[in-house]
Amino acid sequence: MKRLVLSLFIMLFLLYTATTAFTQVQPGERAVVRRFGRLLPNQPRPGLHVGWPWGIDQVERVSVARIRRVAVGFNGKDEAEDVATPAGQLLTGDHNLVNVQAEIHYTVIETEVAKYFLQADRADALVARAAEAALADWIAGRTVDDVLLRGKAILPIELVTQVQERLRPCDLGVRIEVASITRLNPPDEVKEAFDRVAQAQNNIETQVNFAHESAKRKLRDAEAEVFRIERLTAAYAKSQELQAKAEADTFLKRLQQYRQLSRANAGYLNTLWLDEMSRLFARMQSAGRIDLLDHYLTGDGLSILQFPPLPRKK
């Protein structure tokens, strides 16, 4: 009988050991082992963990892949209940009130799972308090216009950095992954007025942007016109330079011819002068500036100075 009881006890002990000494750690989890209440440094990874039976070892599995969510700030209930200062109603730097609500998403750092395990029951509260402090600090340092117009774009980035920094002394073992602003608006009593102001500011920004674009367009047109004029000026200057060089070359050739002819014929200069005067008179006659002198010849001769030039034809 004693052997039967002993055998039964041994079987029950082996069964108990087999059912409590083995722990299956799933992917995305890390295990925390406490032996007689003392936390062991070993933190089993995914797979089958074999330890001492329950009562000696206590194995807790912690998900390190799951993203945990904490909502902080205004929820609308306190305002409906006419509470003096609803949660999430914060004061801006220019003494205006805004309602803000945010969501903080965090994960457990795989290598610091033991730190999280020791404070898991208050982790959400610590994250929430750090987020509320970061929100109040950021909003208090800015005007209401800046908060309402830029808050949803800037605050999420600021919250990730600031909440992580504020949690550092807590040694919580978590990482802030992302933050989002789900609500950011003035109280209902003044919301309509703020909406009108926001609309007016949007109109101002639209007009300013239109003016900037118009100025840029006109500047581009002016630069294009300057470039066109510079090109035309350069082309005209080049053509004048080439023409001047050609005329100078022609003059030098004629000067050389004159010098050669003047050495061979001393009266060449008079011939050249008469030739030039003949062409000049021909041009003046065609322009109506002078008339033929043949009509005024007399027996006593004629001097050209006796007859003034004809008036210019209109």
Question: CATH number for the domain including 133?
Answer: 3.30.479.30
d(Cα 248, Cα 243) in Å, to the nearest integer?
Answer: 8
Handedness of CA 186, 189, 195, 198 (dihedral sign): negative
pLDDT at 305: 46
Which residues in 165-240 belong to E strands, given as ranges? 174-185
pLDDT at 212: 94
- Whether 155 maps to a domain, the answer reads yes
pLDDT at 310: 54
* 232 lies in the same domain as 290: no
* 170 lies in the same domain as 253: no
Give how many domains the chain has, as a whole number: 4
Other residues' Cβ atoms within 10 Å of the Cβ of residue 147: 25
Average confidence (pLDDT) per 10 residues, the chain, 314 residues: 62 56 72 73 68 67 87 72 71 89 92 86 93 93 87 91 93 92 84 78 89 94 94 94 93 83 72 78 76 58 50 54
- Whether 270 maps to a domain, the answer reads no
Domain of 168?
68-189
d(Cα 272, Cα 269) in Å, to the nearest integer?
Answer: 5
- Whether 84 maps to a domain, the answer reads yes
pLDDT at 89: 87
- Whether 179 maps to a domain, the answer reads yes
CA 305 vs CA 218, 290, 302, 308, 309: distances in Å = 62, 12, 9, 7, 9
- Whether 269 maps to a domain, the answer reads no
Tell me the sheet residues that pair with 54: 57
Pair type for strands 97-108 and 174-185: antiparallel
* 34 lies in the same domain as 96: no
